[in-house]
């Protein structure tokens, strides 16, 4: 049922890097703010970052600023999250979601199935 | 950062009973409050947007109310398929934040 498809998760050592991708159909992606939301094992949801339709505005939660970079390729209907200097506390399922912008609608109405990132030595 | 506190954290409810979950914000957020349902091993699903607007396809037994700092999600006549964790989420000011979650178990 999910129409957003994440990929790129896996096991990485502390200090390492990983790039997540999210593929979306045109009707979801085009003209929409997009976000990454994560969920640590057994824990609640945490918004990570968002990006405006043309990629000109981006916002991040403080805990990932300077380490994570959100980007998008509108020609490919794809969203990305480049993660570097990874820490054990970054271990989580990472969801791609539509919405979360600074303009309405701000809710997340479409979600992917998630991709698990495990940071461990 | 706006903190959202949900109550209760957990409840065990008999089918057909009414369920109420409260979400309190640390400061006024107007109506910029949304509710999601997450079943085990699934991604979250939007139920209610902007405090009281039902999202497309969501059963009518789910409803939301409130404004300012106190919000409520109500499930009228609970069904077995409603066993899940429910999260509130604010979009008044960055960083967007979620409540800690409220788990509903079916007796």
Residues B9-64: tens digit of each pLDDT: 999 999 999 999 999 999 999 999 999 999 999 999 999 999 999 999 999 999 99
Distance between CA B11 and CA B78 in Å, rounded? 12
Q: What is the pLDDT of residues B72-91, one digit of tens each?
A: 999 999 999 999 999 999 99
Nearest chain B Cα distance for residue A18, angstroms: 21
Find the closest chain B residue to A2 by CA distance: B43
Q: What is the pLDDT of residues A64-103, one digit of tens each?
A: 999 999 999 999 999 999 999 999 999 999 999 999 888 8
Asked if residues A99 and A35 have their Cβ atoms less than 8 Å apart, the reply is yes
What pLDDT is attached to residue A103? 83
Residue A63, chain B, CB below 8 Å: the answer is no
Please choose, from the candidates A103, A106, A84, the residue with its C-alpha nearest in 3D space to the C-alpha of residue A20: A84
Distance between CA B22 and CA B6 in Å, rounded? 5
Angle at A40 between CA A94 and CA B32, to 5 degrees: 70
Query: Mean pLDDT across the stretch A99-110?
Result: 89
A/B interface, count of CB pairs below 8 Å? 54
Distance between CA A82 and CA A36 in Å, rounded? 11
Handedness of CA B66, B36, B56, B83 (dihedral sign): negative
- How far is residue A60 CA from its own chain's centroid? 10
């Amino acid at each position: 049922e999910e129409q957003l498809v994440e990929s790129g998760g896996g096991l990485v050592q502390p200090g390492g890097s990983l790039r997540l991708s999210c593929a979306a159909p045109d009707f979801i992606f085009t003209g929409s703010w997009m976000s990454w939301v994560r969920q640590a094992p057994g824990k609640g949801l945490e918004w990570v970052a968002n990006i405006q339709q043309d990629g000109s505005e981006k916002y991040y939660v403080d805990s990932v600023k300077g380490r994570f970079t959100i980007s998008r390729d509108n020609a490919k209907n794809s969203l990305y999250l480049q993660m570097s200097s990874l820490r054990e506390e970054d271990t989580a399922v990472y969801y791609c979601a539509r919405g979360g912008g600074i303009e309405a609608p701000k809710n997340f109405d479409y979600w992917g199935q998630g991709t698990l990132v495990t940071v461990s030595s | 950062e706006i903190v959202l506190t949900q109550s209760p954290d957990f409840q065990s409810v008999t089918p057909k009973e009414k369920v109420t979950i409260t979400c309190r914000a640390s400061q006024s957020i107007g109506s910029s409050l949304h509710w999601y349902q997450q079943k085990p091993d699934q991604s979250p699903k939007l139920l209610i947007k902007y405090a009281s607007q039902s999202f497309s396809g969501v059963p009518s037994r789910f409803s939301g109310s409130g404004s300012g700092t106190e919000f409520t999600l109500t499930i009228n006549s609970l069904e077995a398929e409603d066993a899940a964790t429910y999260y509130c989420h604010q979009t008044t000011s960055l960083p967007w934040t979620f409540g800690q979650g409220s788990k509903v178990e079916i007796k």
